[in-house]
Amino acid sequence: MMDMHCHLDLYSNPQYVVERCQDENLYVLSVTTTPKAWYGTSLLAKDCSRIRTALGLHPQLAHERWQELELFDALLNQTRYVGEIGLDGGREFKPYWETQLKVFRHILRSSAKAGGKILSIHSRMSASAVLDELSQINDNLPILHWFSGTKQQLKRAVEIGCYFSVGPAMLSSKKGYGLAQLMPIEKILIETDGPFGNFKTQALFPWNANIAIAILADMWRMNILETENILRQNLFSLVSKHI
């Protein structure tokens, strides 16, 4: 199936994870947290046609790695995917809010100038600000990863045209499940956020995205095959769009 947001390079044995993803024919979006990590991470999957490596600068690292924006721009034409990027409004990162904003805005502008990119976006405690920025630069295709905003913010995200990647950890919470119920079925993709995402205290691997499929099947009152077909159609619809 698919995992549209995981950190392949941060597993303890990334080569094993890549090989198993290949064996199971998984479509994987391997996100990075800094531009310097992109090249090495992309090499992990250089022979894997179903694994794509996204170029990112995580908002929690923006204040430490903003100097890598020049490298980000230099690498941008080598990939269609950008992530993990975004904003983080958590208390420990709020002191660096202005730097986060500058980095996020730069990435959005650069991605648009490069012809538009598929974005995997972090919006913890910052959904309103993220949506403000996306609404000003609409030449990209945004995927809101593990969305945790309000129902009103979700409605706004839908109006902007966002996709949503949901995983076992999100769907196992009451709030996350409730938000997923309100998301347009044709805009939903699945993820794990492994190795950070966990389910029942166990770290998630890309193949564990099937847990999300089972939860969505129950939510949508469909069987597993029908649910997989919808998710596959959503993925193909996303990647076939001309930005």
Encode burial over 73-99: b for 16+ CB neighbours within 10 A, e otherwise: bebbeebbbbbbbbbbbeeebeebbeb
Residues contributing to the annotated binding site for a divalent metal cation: 5, 7, 84, 122, 145, 193
CB 57 within 8 A of CB 68: yes
Residues contributing to the annotated binding site: 5, 7, 84, 122, 145, 193
Is the omega angle on the peptide bond into residue 84 within 30 degrees of 0, that is, cis? yes
Strands 163-166 and 188-190: parallel
CA-closest candidate to residue 162, choices 142, 176, 190: 142
Indicate the SS3 state at residue 203: strand
* 2 beta partners: 27
